[in-house]
Structure 1
């Protein structure tokens, strides 16, 4: 730690412009007041400017959490731009317009509940401001999930977002496609791993969750998805809201597949979305997502600041995030072309000394290790070229074979302990590997699980990276205890934002293939009166669902008033009615829609859909049995 700067400039920057804050920063669920969806208050007893770093927290990570824990309304540009921080993992920004008492809202946080509080905090100090527009910087849920709160605050509803003062919802091109693919298609698996990444199941204390590196945590309230009304397609595209000029820069394939920066020339202010952060970001997030392009990301980070005059650039814009991304990318490519694998490159990767010793290039959220592996994976895929790794056994059978080769599970546990007890240089990493094999070979062995929990805890306490700490400590908790299911669930109303194709995809990806092998082929037509054809040739459209060979496919067809020949079942409905049918599945009520044919095929299709398991096991082969309640 002595090699790092000792000045307090970061603390001055983090506190600058503070206008006010939320007293007792604890936010409850809208549907159940006993459920807390955001709690910033619990951190303050052990993380504050005057606190001493506890021994269970890496000192560098503790310093980062001291910065991230600050919450409140901050003035960014005097009387023009305000930002609410510390009410979610993301920030909500309010840019006031030129001609009247209007405001543009940027990134409405992750949850409806936290977004409501952020809006209330802003409006408590900047009264009588009408919300005229909303901007999504990119397609990650923590930047659009609270959108319905913005609509509500403007006087609109999810059925009619324009019923109040809200005029436009801006988003980068392909926003909805990527928001759906990331947050709906693979959302259950990503959500479960997010429990680990953000430490959702951990207590907020020195032995538990102390932040996420980029912020303190993600809120666990209701997630909404308000569809954009204006898609930004080109760099230097200009839009004006009540006299406020906004100049956009497209940055696809950077921190998100769909992302953009934008400039407010009248205020000399630039929003770099999540493309520039005050620490090392992820090339691939540990919760799971598409691998990002470090080369493209670094180039957009270079060109973005050129949207504004040089004299207005702030230190956060000229941070070393561009240099470090470029170095990670180029050095990884050099080494992989020299024959090294991702693991080998990550093990001994060297940063330039000036970056290594810079606070705002530290790996609190992303890390050099997992970023380098992600870059390797983007170019080379999962296979490292060694045929021994081409057809490996899954975790349980490989664990059983390793344990047998090492003389049984008791011997493996002893070997693991020998790697971290009474040795000069304990190898906690190898101990974790050995004990994980022991647990996967025999999940009922309490000693193996207890020892693995100890090892994970030690690795977590030493981690400088907050997400690594959270993964280790969640693993330590779950290997001996119960699973914490994913709590972030997109609300049913948000399904209205999905296209017909996306909506049907949510069914197709849940079909249990083996259970459907013997199901006879059939077709279902959906005739939609309020959904235009993709080519805009008609205000009405039809969609045909084809089921055969255990797979569901669909394609657009012409709308018809009568059933097409050979189709087992036809439904005439609105988009909203179709959403309701899909959500209700086998319990769908067709009494309010016109149908023709055998509704039993719909029941057959829905009977093949497998419910999503929000609490699948990660550090054990299966979730540990839940102990009986003391009241039973």
Structure 2
């Protein structure tokens, strides 16, 4: 079964670089949990209120039709398989999974169509996110049409199989991450949008952030997302059990995008859609740079988008992103509590399950508010005392007061350790203030000298084995990392480090940490999976503006190759009636609007031709032969520019140099 997927969370950058669809390597068997891991996981059962079964009642509430099948793409390849998680049916957590994480994984395994309240339905468990369906007067309103067109269509088909068949008249994108818009063509036709039959709503800045948030670092984010979501791991007790916000993301499928027709631009804005009144609350800079909550007065229902889920979220996602503002996040949550806390009968989000009842909703919002405020304020408190990021992470080991015992503040997706370091980074940057860390040696040089100073590879391996035997896995992993970077061909180091990472993964309450540990272990045992094919989202490429295309060329430019090839090129997009000029100078590529009369050459083409080139459906020479590109002036200069561009390798090493 395919286990490699398009970047699951907000990873929208597979535009010019290749995305992959990759099979898992045949893996050596992982080790069994150690005695220390078994004891660590057993202790969790005494630390948390496992007797509280409220969430198991909530996850099943309103079930209309379960979903137990598979979803396939047009070629017949399975891209979603609910049955892959049947192993979670065991009541007792296996020794290789943290019991708290096992509990969450069981909850997230509930897939099907649910009635949240009259007129308000959710399809959960058919993708990483939820699809919310609201029955309006003259049609359906869909909030967040999932990641892939195939899963979105399956979700709508499940609804239609159990509810009256009304047309979709509106789609709402709650925010800019791909699992909340990528399946849109599975539920509506763009022709209907252009004809005015269907409206598409989104927060202000949606398209700009969709196209820019992750594009420039997209290749690296795609690779790191494999680790975060465990997309390469087999599903099972020794592999991937969950992704925190849901089971995973579809392994393949078609990412789509239809630009919004209506933007919500005011901080608070009211719209009536299909006879249903919506009060939109913009929350920029929280879980996404453009995001909005929604309150539906008639239904007394509050949608918190992804700002308040059933767990601690990421202030900085491990796959990479701009650091989020935990303080603003907490303030927006308080605004929602103050504005809607006394009005809402149900709170739902675009992940996990709803919360019913006014008192529970108010407590939930207040606890989530307090959690993000604590992350921000306590980190600042400690950094102002001179503590470094790692010292802060090791100091803040639990949330204060009753927050530590609430299931919906547990670190299943975000974590205290990662989030406190992210807050430090937001305010202080990556430098910890110690001059010794101003200009440290790179990892390989550091590792070689460290291993030599410790008496050589055999001595380090011996120390590592002793640390493992005592259950000191964090230290063992640090030793193993130094040894691997000093001696990357050391087979015993590969084996020992894989075993260490597996134990850390087995103990982790955080789904993404487990996935990252176990993916690292898998690659140490079997190597990095090779590149196998490409899959580029056509809609994403079409949504790129010429300015973004040029910005990305600047990222791809190898300045060492380009430094002696200064040039100026004019670009005219005939269909857009827009002109630009590019300047390559000192190995740096910049662009501005308008033509440069002193340009070395001029290129005329359509945006459609540029899109075909970006999608590798066409190349420059062929386009010129067909007359799709007109070149005037010194054509060698265009060749010099193209010859200075790199194509990024998508499968770079992570756990080895």
Whether these two folds match at TM > 0.5 is yes
Residue in structure 2 matched with residue 378 of structure 1 by the alignment: 426
Greater length-normalized contact order (CA 8 Å, ≥ 6 residues apart): 2
Deviation, structure 1 residue 541: 2.2
Deviation, structure 1 residue 249: 0.8
**What is the rounded CA distance, in whole Å, between the counterparts of 2:133 and 2:530 in structure 1?**
34
Contact (CA 8 Å) 2:566, 2:583: kept in 1 or not?
no
Residue in structure 2 matched with residue 333 of structure 1 by the alignment: 380
Alignment of 1:298-309 (within 5 A): 298-308=330-340
Residue in structure 2 matched with residue 628 of structure 1 by the alignment: none
Structure 1 residue 149 corresponds to structure 2 residue 186: yes
Alignment of 1:73-88 (within 5 A): 73-78=113-118, 80-88=119-127
1:169 partner SS:
strand
* Cα 1:490/1:273, change in 2 over 3 Å: farther
Deviation, structure 1 residue 247: 1.6
Alignment of 1:159-558 (within 5 A): 160=191, 162=193, 166-221=197-252, 222-308=254-340, 310-314=342-346, 316=355, 317-318=361-362, 319=364, 320-349=367-396, 350-421=398-469, 423=470, 426-484=471-529, 490-529=536-575, 531=576, 540-557=577-594
* Cα 1:266/1:603, change in 2 over 3 Å: farther
Residue in structure 2 matched with residue 134 of structure 1 by the alignment: 171
Deviation, structure 1 residue 548: 2.2
Task: Give a deviation string over 1:66-96, Cα, whole Å, max 9, x none.
Answer: 1111101111122x11111001111111112
**What is the rounded CA distance, in whole Å, between the counterparts of 2:622 and 2:406 in structure 1?**
58
Deviation, structure 1 residue 164: 6.5
**What is the rounded CA distance, in whole Å, between the counterparts of 1:187 and 1:27 in structure 2?**
27
Worse-matched range after superposition: 592-601 or 282-291: 592-601
Residue in structure 1 matched with residue 95 of structure 2 by the alignment: 55
* Cα 1:418/1:583, change in 2 over 3 Å: same
Match of 2:72 among 21, 24, 28: 28
Structure 1 residue 597 corresponds to structure 2 residue 632: yes
Stretches of structure 2 lacking an aligned partner (at least 5 in a row): 1-44, 348-354, 356-360
**What is the rounded CA distance, in whole Å, between the counterparts of 1:508 and 1:492 in structure 2?**
22
Contact (CA 8 Å) 2:541, 2:614: kept in 1 or not?
no
Deviation, structure 1 residue 359: 1.3
Contact (CA 8 Å) 1:265, 1:308: kept in 2 or not?
no
Residue in structure 2 matched with residue 37 of structure 1 by the alignment: 79
TM-score, with structure 2 as normaliser: 0.86
TM-score, with structure 1 as normaliser: 0.89
Task: Give a deviation string over 1:456-498, Cα, whole Å, max 9, x none.
Answer: 0011001111111000000001112122479995412321112
Deviation, structure 1 residue 37: 2.2
Contact (CA 8 Å) 2:201, 2:263: kept in 1 or not?
yes
* Cα 1:124/1:333, change in 2 over 3 Å: same
1:479 partner SS:
helix
1:439 partner SS:
helix
Contact (CA 8 Å) 1:191, 1:486: kept in 2 or not?
no
Deviation, structure 1 residue 236: 2.1
2:104 partner SS:
helix
2:431 partner SS:
coil
- The alignment covers a number of residue pairs equal to 590
Contact (CA 8 Å) 1:27, 1:113: kept in 2 or not?
yes
* Cα 1:363/1:70, change in 2 over 3 Å: same
Deviation, structure 1 residue 313: 4.2
Worse-matched range after superposition: 67-76 or 160-169: 160-169
Deviation, structure 1 residue 163: 5.2
Contact (CA 8 Å) 2:567, 2:600: kept in 1 or not?
no
Deviation, structure 1 residue 214: 1.5
**What is the rounded CA distance, in whole Å, between the counterparts of 2:427 and 2:346 in structure 1?**
34
**What is the rounded CA distance, in whole Å, between the counterparts of 1:614 and 1:570 in structure 2?**
32
* Cα 1:510/1:193, change in 2 over 3 Å: same
* Cα 1:172/1:311, change in 2 over 3 Å: closer
Worse-matched range after superposition: 542-551 or 410-419: 542-551
**What is the rounded CA distance, in whole Å, between the counterparts of 1:378 and 1:460 in structure 2?**
28
**What is the rounded CA distance, in whole Å, between the counterparts of 1:375 and 1:224 in structure 2?**
33
Deviation, structure 1 residue 220: 2.9
Residue in structure 2 matched with residue 536 of structure 1 by the alignment: none
**What is the rounded CA distance, in whole Å, between the counterparts of 2:241 and 2:99 in structure 1?**
12
* Cα 1:460/1:122, change in 2 over 3 Å: same
Contact (CA 8 Å) 1:88, 1:114: kept in 2 or not?
yes
